[in-house]
Structure 1
Amino acid sequence: MATAVHRLFWLVSVLVNVCSGGELLHNGDLESLDSWVCYKVHCEITTDHHCGHHSLKASQRSSDGSGPGQSFNATQGWLYMVTAWVKLLNDVPGKLGQPLSLMADYTFTDGHRHYDGVVDYPLAQKADGWIQLQAAFKAPNRAIKAAHMTIRGPDAAVDFLLDCASITNIWHGSGWRASADKVIHDVRQSDVNIHVTTQGKLDKSNVQIQVLQKKKSFPIGTVVNAWHYDDQKQSRYRSFIHDHFNWAVHESTMKWKHIEPFEGRYHFELPLRVLGALKKNGLKVRGHNLIWSTNVAVQDWVKHLSGDHLRNAVEHHITQTMNQTRGKLEHWDVNNENLQGQWYQERLNDFNFELTPFRIAHHNDPHVKLFLNDYNIVAHGKMTGAYVAQAERLKKANVGLYGLGVQCHFYNEEAPDPDLIKIRLDMLAKTGLPVWVTEFNIVAADENKRAEFVETAMRAFYGHPVVEGILLWGFWDQSHSRGPHAALVKGDNLEMTAAGHRFLDLWENQWMTDETRVLSKSGSQFTVRGFHGDYEVHVRYQGKDLGNLKQTFTLGETSHTVNINVHV
């Protein structure tokens, strides 16, 4: 995990490089109603406030879509940061909470309109007090005539306060690459200090010192289709995984719906067999997932449970699954996509049930690292702020949360925006928790475009210090949830695509270390800047490898010194 110093450096660099083009909202501190539009909602000024001395109170709303708003100047394709603080004044009986959102309404110069949900916050309550809605977003890449931002979401019967609203331009340029490269140099690499002494009359021009990295310590992994992996005919699939990755995650077979599709009928054999084979071949494995909170992911027999029967079923499943995998997995995604759905909380009418699976998992195995895992966080940013709030709740409850998993499934033919990726990761970094890119894939029909997209995203991920690991969600066209246009390799022989070549060039060439120095030119003391991982140092004289002088070591966050005495 990146050190606190590295993270501090990054946050300082963000303040320097993310430049505001000025405030685009008028009267954002809500000291009056000037410039605010209140259509089908009653607005008034109140003394309850988050900043300044007043805030806007919204009441008598006609629907969940009505709320105060304001027009702002938006430019085609520009990046913006929006923030607003909202406080609910009442709850609705029988509902766990209320959704909050910021909705942008664009009118284009050709007369067409487009609505874009910029911020989603799924479950707000009166007891939360002031809630920050925040997101980095990109205006549509069309000529814009007018833009309007509205605060909306709660039931019409819910009144709320609004304060401290802001929309600012975000600096958007080519500087991201230099910033990412600096982080890669400072955080992903350390110095290897070589000290060489010689005996006898050696010709130093014939002495070569090679610093060769054999393994990368940074986690780079892939999702694994257990059925393909277990198929003896799929040796090329297995070999590609073993040769190019050091981490893996089961695609489906670790999920409750697959382990126990019918009550009491368990299917542990295949996932455990594949897990054992992956570990035997040197890969570390993530567990995905203990429960999944969206309605479509809950199996029918569980949907018929309620109350203590449901609570007991969840506890039994987590306990039994962790008993089967204890000591074999590095991570568990505990409550998958809990921002997208809250099936268990709603069924039990218990908002705080989001804490229970973590408590059960941590009790059963305090050594495995426990994660949240969700989307619309980094590749798209509607829920980045809500994810931060959820993480802070779990941290405060001390339930064993280790890190944040971010799914990064970019839209079809969507070029990843490295500036938005960086800004959203900055927001997550404020939690103090490490981030794993758990489900990364790119879709583009053109292989070369796909290669460019893959490289941009990978550099943005690897070039941010809060990111501890990256896992692909598929690489082979015959085993990819998003089809052949997302593949790195294709066909029965797993032939490399342009995107596959680009991916491997980054991870196995550009971001690996292999340097050879000639002693007559380098001097007896020199430094190699190396990527973290396992190394060998070889000494050659007159082209012959001096095997007795070979040394091995692991390079981590601190520098390493190698002393060599060359004699023949």
Structure 2
Amino acid sequence: MKLVSIFLCICVGQAISELFQNGDFESSQFTGNWQCSSCHLTLTTDHVSGHHGGQITQRSATWAGLRYDVHVSTGKTYVIKGYIKLMSKAPEVMYHRVQVMISGRDSNGHTQYITVGEDRHVQKEFGWTEIGGDIVLSSGRLTSVTVYIQVDNKDVNYMVDSMSMKELQHDSQWKSKANARIEANRKSNINIKITNGHGIDTSNLQIELNQTKNAFAFGTAVNADAIHDPAQTGYQDFFYNNFEWAVLENALKWRLMEWTQGHPNFDRALGAINAMHDRGIKIRGHNMYWAADQSVPKWLAPMTQQQLLQAMHTHLNDMISHTRGKLEHWDVNNEDIHGNYFARHLNNPNITMDMFDWMHQAEPALKLFLNDFNVVSSHYSTTAYKEHVRRFKESKTPIYGAGIQSHFTGSNHDMTTVEYRLNKVAEVGLPLWITELTVDDNNENNKADQLEDLLTLYFSHPLVEGVLLWGYSDQHVYSQSIALTHGANNTPNAAGRRYQQLYRKWRTHVTGSLHNQTIRGFKGEYTLRIKSHGKTIESHTFALTDATTTVSVNLSGSAAQAYSYTVIT
């Protein structure tokens, strides 16, 4: 595959904060900096910042374009960022794929190609679109490197601006900073105030403060059959003891629930939903539509556009009529920065936005999500997803949040890089949900450590509202190496035990004597019991939110025998 190139020579050099000079294209002196191969580079007054951008025209091939010579160091992680604006589009296409890539020869003389980031669905109508990603330039991996921006058709001219390349510094203190954010952001104060105007002896009175629900969502994907099968109590016990949210792994997916047109099977999903709903579990809907060709019902293939639209509306209306009021969220068109089945067959690049509108009209209370992969677990789609989410927000589409799947393979992921990617999506300002967290590693101790790191980072981020694992039991997961429990009894392995430890660590439980005090607790729902000689004599519930909650206990009458109690928030 040939590419439009920005050249990058790898050699040992001094560390500098910004490696691209004149990346804002304010100067027309391109010699030694920006150059154009088999194309024409000029300045334009169209820009992202400053007063000018770079304009690339007269491209003779798909590889024709900019290049930049720069000195960097191997063994470092670099972030490449910039903006592109398509000036035209090829006939009879809705959008173009734009890739930031690097290529170079390794020590054996073999050429390697590595994708830094790609956006498969850039439209001319988008205007300026951010592109880029992060890449580790491993020592000895490549002896020289070329960084490319590829636009998939040579007849498409484009502009660039605000190009930047910086080293991403590893932060060895990331975890202590994350734990400090958890303490600051995930907790609030509970003030217990005692009014004892009658001088009652309180020496035999105690309080027991128990958090019953977490404001942050801890959940998992579940198997629709196992969650209410009387023979699988081990599976159910582990679920109900360790999670407060759920998502059905497969039972709500259109292709799987309606294998034959006109014969959808809602019973399987509803059996699971009702069983969990009765136990107070909150449930995400996954998914109404799926953008990947292999994930749509096969019987859609021969339909005309009008027939396809009718089938989509029928599916949505049937689904909502069965699940109304039972689900908190829906993933609307799963993985649509990677797939385009509905957009392609309906010749509508904005069909996902239409889907959001349909669903919002059908059930306004639902919180609607985009959901995609390779967003934080790799560098391929971080920037593309951020831009996708931004466009939905700015277009006033009824989107609530961005789902980030988070499937990790192996251990020792650099958490500074994961945090950078998470923060990139967070720039849009919408709530974030980690919807399908897995760590695929056969070494259970390594998996436990990686899971702890990821959960700590996610729990610490102010825009992340919840984390759902993509299953836990080795009886019901797509890969044995992601499991947290083994066997019919669901005995936790090292990673499962680590999850349990964190789940309990991030809840508040306090017992002690009854006196004026301030308790810093995790946000969520609480039960406060007042006990006398170990016996509960009063019990009340309250919710701890961002604001300090004051619990006033007013005592009257003989000691521990009669008193009044109020909760003030």
The alignment's TM-score, normalised by the length of structure 2, stands at 0.89
For residue 338 of structure 2, give the secondary structure of its aligned residue in structure 1.
coil
For residue 469 of structure 1, give the secondary structure of its aligned residue in structure 2.
strand
Name the structure 2 match of 1:335.
Answer: 333
Deviation of 1:436 after TM superposition, in Å, equals 0.6
Deviation of 1:565 after TM superposition, in Å, equals 5.0
For each residue in 1:461-501, what CA deviation from the matched residue of structure 2 results, as whole angstroms up to 9, or x when unmatched? 101010011100011112111x2211111122211110011
For residue 442 of structure 1, give the secondary structure of its aligned residue in structure 2.
strand
User: Is residue 501 of structure 1 aligned with residue 490 of structure 2?
Assistant: no
Q: CA contact under 8 A between 1:36 and 1:68: conserved in structure 2?
A: no
Name the structure 2 match of 1:269.
Answer: 267
Name the structure 1 match of 2:436.
Answer: 439
User: Using the alignment, how far apart are the partners of 1:496 and 1:370 within structure 2?
Assistant: 33
User: Using the alignment, how far apart are the partners of 1:446 and 1:167 within structure 2?
Assistant: 36
Alignment RMSD (CA, Å)? 2.4
The correspondence for 1:29, drawn from 24, 33, 36, is 24
Name the structure 1 match of 2:6.
Answer: none
Deviation larger for 93-102 or 344-353: 344-353
Name the structure 2 match of 1:462.
Answer: 459
Deviation larger for 278-287 or 555-564: 555-564
Taking only the aligned residue pairs, the percentage that are identical comes to 32
User: Using the alignment, how far apart are the partners of 1:127 and 1:461 within structure 2?
Assistant: 34
Residues 473, 35 of structure 1: alpha-carbon distance in 2 compared, 3 angstrom cutoff? farther
Residues 68, 565 of structure 1: alpha-carbon distance in 2 compared, 3 angstrom cutoff? same
Residues 22, 492 of structure 1: alpha-carbon distance in 2 compared, 3 angstrom cutoff? same
User: Using the alignment, how far apart are the partners of 2:172 and 2:516 within structure 1?
Assistant: 37
Higher helix share: 1
Residues 565, 381 of structure 1: alpha-carbon distance in 2 compared, 3 angstrom cutoff? same
User: Is residue 293 of structure 1 aligned with residue 288 of structure 2?
Assistant: no
Deviation of 1:203 after TM superposition, in Å, equals 7.6
Name the structure 1 match of 2:78.
Answer: 80
Q: CA contact under 8 A between 2:88 and 2:124: conserved in structure 1?
A: yes
User: Using the alignment, how far apart are the partners of 1:60 and 1:158 within structure 2?
Assistant: 9
Name the structure 1 match of 2:508.
Answer: 513
Residues 560, 419 of structure 1: alpha-carbon distance in 2 compared, 3 angstrom cutoff? same
Deviation of 1:291 after TM superposition, in Å, equals 0.8
User: Using the alignment, how far apart are the partners of 2:138 and 2:464 within structure 1?
Assistant: 28
User: Using the alignment, how far apart are the partners of 1:467 and 1:549 within structure 2?
Assistant: 36
Deviation larger for 446-455 or 393-402: 393-402
Query: Which residues in structure 2 correspond to 1:60-209 (within 5 Å)?
Result: 60-108=58-106, 113-140=111-138, 145-197=143-195, 202=201, 204=203, 208-209=206-207
User: Is residue 556 of structure 1 aligned with residue 556 of structure 2?
Assistant: no
Deviation larger for 42-51 or 336-345: 42-51
Residues 100, 473 of structure 1: alpha-carbon distance in 2 compared, 3 angstrom cutoff? same
Deviation of 1:73 after TM superposition, in Å, equals 4.1
Deviation of 1:315 after TM superposition, in Å, equals 1.4
The residue type paired with residue 27 of structure 1 is N
For each residue in 1:70-113, what CA deviation from the matched residue of structure 2 results, as whole angstroms up to 9, or x when unmatched? 34444445333221121212111111110111112355556555
The correspondence for 1:534, drawn from 525, 531, 535, is 525
Deviation of 1:359 after TM superposition, in Å, equals 1.3
Q: CA contact under 8 A between 1:106 and 1:146: conserved in structure 2?
A: yes
The correspondence for 1:302, drawn from 300, 303, 317, is 300
Deviation larger for 266-275 or 100-109: 100-109
Name the structure 2 match of 1:233.
Answer: 231
Q: CA contact under 8 A between 1:97 and 1:123: conserved in structure 2?
A: yes
The residue type paired with residue 534 of structure 1 is E
User: Using the alignment, how far apart are the partners of 2:100 and 2:303 within structure 1?
Assistant: 35
Unaligned 5+ runs, structure 2 = 1-14, 561-569
Residues 87, 518 of structure 1: alpha-carbon distance in 2 compared, 3 angstrom cutoff? same
Residues 325, 65 of structure 1: alpha-carbon distance in 2 compared, 3 angstrom cutoff? farther
The correspondence for 2:482, drawn from 470, 483, 486, is 486
Residues 116, 264 of structure 1: alpha-carbon distance in 2 compared, 3 angstrom cutoff? same
Residues 462, 113 of structure 1: alpha-carbon distance in 2 compared, 3 angstrom cutoff? farther
Unaligned 5+ runs, structure 1 = 1-19
The correspondence for 2:468, drawn from 449, 468, 471, is 471
Deviation larger for 360-369 or 524-533: 524-533
The correspondence for 1:424, drawn from 421, 440, 459, is 421
Query: Between Structure 1 and Structure 2, how many residues are aligned?
Result: 539
